[in-house]
Structure 1
Amino acid sequence: MTTYAIGDLQGCHAEFVELLEALDFDPRRDRLWLAGDLVNRGPGSLACLREVMALGEAARVVLGNHDLHLLAVARGGAALNRKDTLDAILAAPDREALLDWLQSRPLLVRDTLGQDTLMTHAGLLPQWSLDQAAGLAREVQAVLGGEHAGAFLERMYGNAPALWRDDLDGVDRLRAIVNVFTRMRFIDAEGRLDFSAKEGLDSAPPGFAPWFQYPRGDGARLLFGHWAALQGATPHSRVDAQALDTGCVWGGALTALALESGERASVPSRRR
C-alpha cells in the first residue's frame, strides 16, 4: 500500500486521471490525500468532484478556499466571480449530493505515517500545537455540519481578525480558523496573516515571512497546497513542510508525493 498526497486539482480532471494511471493507483490497495481546492478555474471541476467522491474511503480530502467558495455560492448566497468555472456543478443533477459530500470534508487530516503527519490546504500556524489545530478544525467542521452552516457561509469572508487570539468567539473565531487553514501564506512573528501577497517568496511584505520559516518543536510533517508560486519547494523551511501545489491549472504540473518513500511524480498540465 502507498499513500499519495496531491495538491490542488482546481478542475484539472484529465491530468488527475493521467497521474493516477501513472502511479498505478488502486483504491483497493492505495490511499490518496488531497490538499483541497478540488474545483474552480480549470475545465473539469464537476468531473473532479465526482471522481474523488467515488473513491470513497480511499481518499481523504481537506477543504480549500475554492471549495469553500463553491459552498458559499451554493448555500451561503455569495456571488460567482468572473473567472469561476463552477456553473456545471451548480447545474448538475447530482449537485446536492456533491455539495453535501464536500461540505462534510474537514479542514485538517492527521495520521501517523512513519511520523506525525498533518495536511491542511494552506498550512499550520506556528503558534498552534497539533492537538490545538485539530480541535479548531473540528469547531469549523461542526458548524458546517450543523443547522447554521448557511449563516456562517454568508459571513465567512473577511480579513479580520488577522491575528489569532484564544479568546476569539463567534464568527470572528471561525473566520480566523478558516483563514489560517485555507488562505495563509505570509505571517509575522506574532502569527498575524498578510492577505495581500500571493506570489513567490520575494513578494513578502516587510516584517513577514512564509509560515513554514518559523520553527516548531513537534517534528511533525506538514503537507499543504494553495501556494502554486512555490512550485513544490519550501526554501529555508524550519519545519518539515511539503508543498504539494505545482500549479496545474496555471500551466505547471500536477504532482503526487508518496508519503512512505518521499518520492514525487508529476504529469504536465494540458493548459500550457
Structure 2
Amino acid sequence: MAGKRESRRPNRLAADRGVDIIGDVHACWDEFCQLLARLGYEQSKADGLYRHPAGRMLLSLGDITSRGPHSIKMLQFFIAHVRAGLAEMTDSNHGWKIARWLDGRQVTLRHGDEKVAAEFAAYERRCGTASLRKLQEESRWLLKTAPSHILLTIQSTPAAVAVHAGIRDEYIGKDSAVVQNFCRYGDVAGIAADGRPIRRDWTEAKQSPLTIVWGHDPRPQPERKRGAINIDQGCVFGGMLTAYRFPEDELVSVPARKNYSGEADNPLTR
C-alpha cells in the first residue's frame, strides 16, 4: 500500500443545521457513546448509524485511536459515518502516525499507538485475514484523507475553524505540508530532555475573528483564549470527553470511567 495517494476530503463544512465538535476520544468508546446520547443522537435500527433529529453533524478533532481500549470501534464508527455524510474528522498527530503505519511506512508505534497494532492483531485472529485487510484499507483511507483543518460555514460564510492542534491565521483555508504539520502538532519549539514536545502558545498571534476549536493539548477544563477554545479534557487520562456545539457556543462533557492510559504521570496530573 505504500505510496498510494488520494485527495484529501473537503475542508469546508456547512454548519447551518448545527455541528457537534468532539475533542480527543483516544479510543474511549463507552464515553463516546454516552456523549452521543447526551447530544441527542439516535441509532437507527435500519442501518445502525447515529443521526440527530435536527440534522446536526458530528465533527471529530482527530486522535480517535491510541492509548485507550477501543480504537477499532472508533475507526469503524467514523468510516461508516463519514461515508454516509453524517460525520467528518480532521487530521491529527496520532491519526497521521497510524495512517502511515497502515500505508506500510516504517514508523515506530509508541505513546499508545502500539495498542492499535495489538487490536488489529487480535482482530485478525478473531475475524480472519480477509476482514483484516478490508479494515486496514478503510482505516487508512479515513485517516490519510482527513483534511488538516475544517472551515465551518453559516450561509456559505466562514464562521469557525476546527483543527486538531492549532493553526496560524495565514494557514486558514490553505493546504500544504507546512500547514498540515502545524495543524497536527501545533507550534513546537523543540523536544525537552524527557522527550516531551516544547509547545509555544500559538493563540498569542491569533488575529482572525473566526472561532477556532482545537484539542491535542489536554486541559482539565475547556479553555477559552483569544477566540480559541480547547476541548481536549484528557478523557483517556481519566478526565472528560467534551463536545462543543456550534453555532450555539455550548459545551457538553461526560466524565471518563477511568484512566485508561495507565499513566499516573500524565497531562492532567502534571
* TM-score of the aligned structures, taking structure 1 as reference length: 0.71
Over residues 208-228 of structure 1, what are the superposed CA-to-partner deviations in whole Å (9 max), with x where a residue is unaligned?
851112231x31111111011
> Aligned residue for 2:69?
43
Cα offset, 1:204, TM superposition: 11
> Aligned residue for 2:265?
none
> Aligned residue for 1:134?
173
Over residues 11-35 of structure 1, what are the superposed CA-to-partner deviations in whole Å (9 max), with x where a residue is unaligned?
1111101100111125252211110
Cα offset, 1:133, TM superposition: 3.2
Within the candidate set 86, 90, 107, 2:148 is matched to 107
Q: What's the secondary structure of 2:143's corresponding residue?
A: helix
> Aligned residue for 1:214?
205
Structure with the bigger percentage of helix: 1
> Aligned residue for 2:78?
52
Distance in 2 (CA, whole Å) between partners of 1:15 and 1:228 is 16
> Aligned residue for 1:24?
40
Within the candidate set 84, 90, 108, 1:62 is matched to 90
Cα offset, 1:104, TM superposition: 1.6
> Aligned residue for 2:110?
81
Over residues 163-187 of structure 1, what are the superposed CA-to-partner deviations in whole Å (9 max), with x where a residue is unaligned?
xxxxxxxxxxx2x3333111115xx
> Aligned residue for 1:243?
230
CA contact (8 A) 1:3 1:259 kept: yes
How many residues align? The count is 213
**1:224 is aligned to 2:214:** yes
Distance in 1 (CA, whole Å) between partners of 2:89 and 2:112 is 24
Identity %: 24
The list of structure 1 runs, each at least 4 consecutive aligned residues, that deviate by more than 4 angstroms after superposition, is none
Within the candidate set 260, 267, 270, 2:247 is matched to 260
Distance in 2 (CA, whole Å) between partners of 1:215 and 1:108 is 16
CA contact (8 A) 2:191 2:197 kept: no
Counterpart code for 1:181: C
Structure 2 alignment gaps of length 5 or more: 1-16, 43-50, 125-131, 260-270
Within the candidate set 86, 98, 115, 2:139 is matched to 98
CA contact (8 A) 1:3 1:260 kept: yes
Distance in 1 (CA, whole Å) between partners of 2:31 and 2:24 is 11
Distance in 2 (CA, whole Å) between partners of 1:124 and 1:82 is 23
Cα offset, 1:230, TM superposition: 6.0
CA contact (8 A) 1:60 1:109 kept: no
CA contact (8 A) 2:220 2:239 kept: no
For the aligned residues, what is the CA RMSD? 2.4
Cα offset, 1:97, TM superposition: 1.6
**1:196 is aligned to 2:191:** yes
Task: Describe the shift of the 1:63–1:80 C-alpha distance in structure 2 as closer, same or farther (beyond 3 A).
Answer: same
Task: Describe the shift of the 1:68–1:124 C-alpha distance in structure 2 as closer, same or farther (beyond 3 A).
Answer: same
Distance in 1 (CA, whole Å) between partners of 2:167 and 2:98 is 23
Distance in 2 (CA, whole Å) between partners of 1:12 and 1:121 is 17
CA contact (8 A) 1:38 1:48 kept: yes
Task: Describe the shift of the 1:269–1:111 C-alpha distance in structure 2 as closer, same or farther (beyond 3 A).
Answer: same
> Aligned residue for 2:166?
123
Over residues 135-167 of structure 1, what are the superposed CA-to-partner deviations in whole Å (9 max), with x where a residue is unaligned?
22xx4xxxxxxxxxxxxxxxxxxxxxxxxxxxx
Moved more, 80-89 or 52-61: 80-89
Task: Describe the shift of the 1:116–1:257 C-alpha distance in structure 2 as closer, same or farther (beyond 3 A).
Answer: same
Counterpart code for 1:112: T
Cα offset, 1:107, TM superposition: 0.9
* TM-score of the aligned structures, taking structure 2 as reference length: 0.71
> Aligned residue for 1:181?
183
**1:34 is aligned to 2:60:** yes
CA contact (8 A) 2:102 2:137 kept: no
Cα offset, 1:118, TM superposition: 1.1
Counterpart code for 2:62: G
